[in-house]
Structure 1
């Protein structure tokens, strides 16, 4: 009976996995299909080609859009991880007046939809002459209460004896943070880094509002504009395929840290 249940569970998981992979396979086939020839969903293409990918890479601003997306995601990852780790350490291990009130007030911002703050944020950045600039694109998205919450929960479970021993050895706050907190939180930092990178790499609404010129657009915004310029459908799929590659590289490079963070969290729980 147990063996039969496991078999059905594995079969169901396999079906779900296939359902998840099929859209990516469809994008891959469409991107590699020759222009003007029958392809999905009507028939399987007779041959595959890289012409669409080459045409997309040679487009006037595609590489610029790629650089903008990378800069937006990379800078956000570094700053958010650093500030979230410092804030999480303070909320988890430090005692100061109003700590819980400040933390839960900060966490309450998760209940405010991004769309509700979009116009006020745009007006503020506009008054500071930040529209169509890199800092105007990046800085307003750096306050991440979810990242602070995850770091606080992880650091809170670290043994207090480690910090007491560091204090006895004469280590200051910055040395304790650099030599104890950061090395021990590496798994959750890697996991959070993947999420933050994906959030910003795939972000559409805020870059759409901030990019007033073609040179400041990110990949997501740039590809959406190509859809209105009579660009072949296969070339659009090629652009979508290229945008997925950095996400896959980041995930496979850091997936062992995700497993480590899950395992360590399970042991602590």
Structure 2
């Protein structure tokens, strides 16, 4: 029987705590700097928006007093309420239709077998490589011939074929177990019932995430509404802000308009933030 000598553990070694690696502090510092750079424009926008009229705004200076007169005047501007309503209609209708069609197409491309499926999918996805500016004139000519200029359907319909949304839905649905769909078929469920009771509930995280992206895309869209909407009846908020700029308004008024237009985007993000985080977590688990 042999005895092995062990070194006595000193009190200093026992009480020593593992040091955090310097790389972690460097990462934290980098993220903090990037966060400040990201938030800085919004802070400047709010400061300028609350600056009283007649006070210098460029370069940005902290005003002695803050006022909401600029925001009140913007809200009472002729056409602002109509522009906001048009943006809401344009964004919400697009979100609903795109989520419905993209989820159906994603389910078909992910779980169905039919001739030409892969060719159709990759042909549709190839449209992602073509910038919208390249097809702007042909699409405008087509919509103009159909009488869609300065109408809501002419504003909304050309933006509904979203290949990115279909691709995201297809990739997410491919990760769902086939046993669920086989069990539903054995029970005699129709395709519509399978879609509504299995696909939709299991894809809520990606639907919410995609809904946020689509809403932001359409709410901030400028080029197509600028071309197709030619009156206040269909003009969106982004285009309306350029009209305000041509009226030689002060920077405080323009920043007030921009701050108001950013509120719906922030509300949508905070309301659907939980689903957005869940979709990212589920993607990591896959």
Bin of the TM-score, shorter chain as denominator length: over 0.9
Among candidates 119, 124, 133, match of residue 137 of structure 2: 119
Worse-superposed segment, 117-126 or 30-39? 30-39
8 A Cα contact 2:82 2:232, kept in partner: no
Q: Aligned-pair RMSD on alpha carbons?
A: 0.9
What is residue 160 of structure 1 aligned with on the other side?
Answer: 178
Worse-superposed segment, 228-237 or 22-31? 228-237
How far apart, in 2, do the equivalents of 1:238 and 1:42 lie? 15
**Cα gap change, 1:60/1:166 in structure 2, threshold over 3 Å: closer, same or farther?**
same
Among candidates 30, 51, 70, match of residue 33 of structure 1: 51
What is residue 192 of structure 1 aligned with on the other side?
Answer: 210
After TM superposition, give the deviation of residue 42 of structure 1 in Å.
Answer: 4.7
Among candidates 259, 266, 283, match of residue 248 of structure 1: 266
Deviations 1:182-230 (A, max 9, x none): 0000000000000000000000000000011133210000001111111
1:212 aligns to 2:233 (yes or no) = no
Aligned partner of residue 194 in structure 1, secondary structure: helix
8 A Cα contact 2:57 2:252, kept in partner: no
Unaligned runs of 5+ in 1: none
Aligned partner of residue 154 in structure 1, secondary structure: helix
1:106 aligns to 2:124 (yes or no) = yes
1:179 aligns to 2:197 (yes or no) = yes
Among candidates 34, 46, 52, match of residue 64 of structure 2: 46
What is residue 81 of structure 1 aligned with on the other side?
Answer: 99
8 A Cα contact 2:44 2:60, kept in partner: no
**Cα gap change, 1:39/1:45 in structure 2, threshold over 3 Å: closer, same or farther?**
farther
After TM superposition, give the deviation of residue 2 of structure 1 in Å.
Answer: 5.0
Among candidates 29, 33, 37, match of residue 11 of structure 1: 29
Deviations 1:121-158 (A, max 9, x none): 00000000000000000011000000000000000010
Point out the structure with max Rg over C-alpha: 2
Aligned partner of residue 21 in structure 2, secondary structure: helix
8 A Cα contact 1:38 1:44, kept in partner: no
Worse-superposed segment, 77-86 or 29-38? 29-38
How far apart, in 2, do the equivalents of 1:84 and 1:126 lie? 26
1:91 aligns to 2:117 (yes or no) = no
Please report the TM-score for the alignment, with normalisation by the length of structure 2.
Answer: 0.92
Note the 1:61-80 alignment, pairs <5 A. Answer: 61-80=79-98
Deviations 1:227-260 (A, max 9, x none): 1111121111000000100000000000111111
What is residue 75 of structure 2 aligned with on the other side?
Answer: 57
More helix by share: 1
Deviations 1:44-66 (A, max 9, x none): 11010100000000001000000
Which stretches of structure 1, 4 residues or more, deviate above 4 A after TM superposition? none
